[in-house]
Structure 1
Amino acid sequence: MITLYGIPGTATTAPHMVLEELGVDYEFVLVERTDDGVPTAPADYIKLSPFGKVPTLKVDDLVLTESAACCLHLADLHADKGLIPSVGTAERAETMRWLMFLTNTVQPAYLRFFYPARYTNDPNGADLVQANAVDELTALRSHISGKLGSGPFLQGNAFSIADIYLAMLSSWGTELPGAASWWADTTVAAHYDAVLARPGARRAVEEEGGSVSTQG
């Protein structure tokens, strides 16, 4: 039995897309939290995720937190679906490099943009933290755009969980101001549209009420 606990529009979206791409049976359980992030429902959620974060994936008796770890485990469980290359191959190493880059470098920059007050003790410092995050995210977007080239995916025609993770993060980038918006970059926007052209990924985003196209 597979259960995904999460909140639409958060880091839940990536494993949600993976589950739909795999076409396996699962249950989605909505997590509710207070404004300061304390989970209120399900009542025992804090036992699954001690810090109250989302998502949490439960596969039989295994409980996993961290969005990228959830994606990786699901892809490995259903390796025949081709969402991650075989262990020991150069292709898998490249997929893992992208996944780690996205979760360790890009995602933290987004957190500084969305929650700048967490990253400064200066009561007047949040604006500077956020402005620096916008600059960093713009540079990261340019790097990714250059690596995508003609795409459509991060590894050419080979689609993987890294593309799912990038699509999730690029959708967050629509919150950045003006030209800094990630979809203002036509190459990054084309990547998102290529991912969302896949029925499974599209279903997950539709269920969460997200954008299924960069064209609105």
Structure 2
Amino acid sequence: MNELVLYTHPYSRGRIAHWMLEEVGQPHRIEWAEFGPAMKTPEFLALNPMGKVPVLTHGDVVVTEAAAICAYLADRFPDSGLAPVAHDSARGPWYRWLFFAAGPVEQAVTAHSMGWQVPEGKDAFVGFGSYARVLDTLEKAVSAAPYLCGEFSAADVYVGSHLGWGMMFGSIEKRPAFEEYVARLQARPAAQRADRINAERIEAMQKKA
């Protein structure tokens, strides 16, 4: 069987992959995984030795890491239009922004949130350079056009998720360009469906507690 199954938690990066699944529009199943011991069982560690979500299984294929899941789904289901075709000039920027968010953005935001300071003159030794430079680069990118690669794509799902959650929790400073970009993405029906499903799960968890 080639069933698509997403292991996720509503308070995790799994929400990025969940949104992506809704955009792809293929039948899938959600397996809600609890934090703690449930993610450290032999069965779960066989899927992801890191003991964390998201994890996507597609038949015998196992994909972890939200950016990789977005890229896999976009390529596996090309009719969804979520990745530029191989010979399209937009393919380069598509790779660029997926990897930029998974690398420099993730690193810069984590360092900023933890209060880690790069010693003066040592910017070249870290992949993100500086928090301010990363945000300035993102601001320029999302201001240039409605979407990062011309048409809406998996890159917008991934980058937009980082910006949306970062601004919500204060790890990314609010800028008008960021807010306009995220609002445009959050208006998509697929994003709203994923948010509604996760909100329902949160409500169920709270009632159970």
**Superposition deviation, residue 145 in structure 1:** 1.1
Distance 1:13-1:137 versus aligned 2 partners, 3 A rule: farther
2:159 is the counterpart of 1:162: no
SS in 1 for 2:149: coil
Q: Does the aligned pair in 1 maintain the 2:93–2:148 contact within 8 Å?
A: no
**Superposition deviation, residue 161 in structure 1:** 0.4
TM-score normalised according to structure 1 size: 0.77
CA offsets, 1:55-96, max 9 Å, x none? Answer: 110001111111111111111111011000101321111101
2:110 is the counterpart of 1:111: yes
CA offsets, 1:147-169, max 9 Å, x none? Answer: 2225211134x101000001110
Distance 1:141-1:12 versus aligned 2 partners, 3 A rule: same
TM-score normalised according to structure 2 size: 0.80
**Superposition deviation, residue 53 in structure 1:** 2.1
Q: Quote the Cα distance in structure 1 between the aligned partners of 2:96 and 2:130.
A: 19
**Superposition deviation, residue 128 in structure 1:** 4.0
Distance 1:204-1:10 versus aligned 2 partners, 3 A rule: same
Q: Which amino acid counterpart does residue 55 of structure 1 have in structure 2?
A: P
Please show how residues 62-141 of structure 1 align to structure 2 within 5 Å. Answer: 62-114=61-113, 116=114, 127-129=115-117, 136-141=130-135
Name stretches of at least 5 consecutive residues in structure 2 with no aligned partner: 121-128, 201-209
Structure-1 residue corresponding to 2:33: 31
Structure-1 residue corresponding to 2:13: 11
Q: Does the aligned pair in 1 maintain the 2:21–2:73 contact within 8 Å?
A: yes
Q: Which amino acid counterpart does residue 164 of structure 1 have in structure 2?
A: V
Q: Which amino acid counterpart does residue 152 of structure 2 have in structure 1?
A: F
SS in 2 for 1:87: coil
Percent identity reads: 28
Structure-2 residue corresponding to 1:205: 195
Pairing partner for 1:147 from 135, 141, 144: 141
Q: Quote the Cα distance in structure 1 between the aligned partners of 2:49 and 2:157.
A: 26
Q: Quote the Cα distance in structure 2 between the aligned partners of 1:113 and 1:28.
A: 32
**Superposition deviation, residue 194 in structure 1:** 1.0
SS in 2 for 1:95: helix
Q: Does the aligned pair in 1 maintain the 2:39–2:52 contact within 8 Å?
A: no
Q: Quote the Cα distance in structure 1 between the aligned partners of 2:42 and 2:109.
A: 29
**Superposition deviation, residue 129 in structure 1:** 4.7
Name stretches of at least 5 consecutive residues in structure 1 with no aligned partner: 117-126, 211-216
- What is the aligned residue count? 188
Q: Does the aligned pair in 1 maintain the 2:25–2:80 contact within 8 Å?
A: no
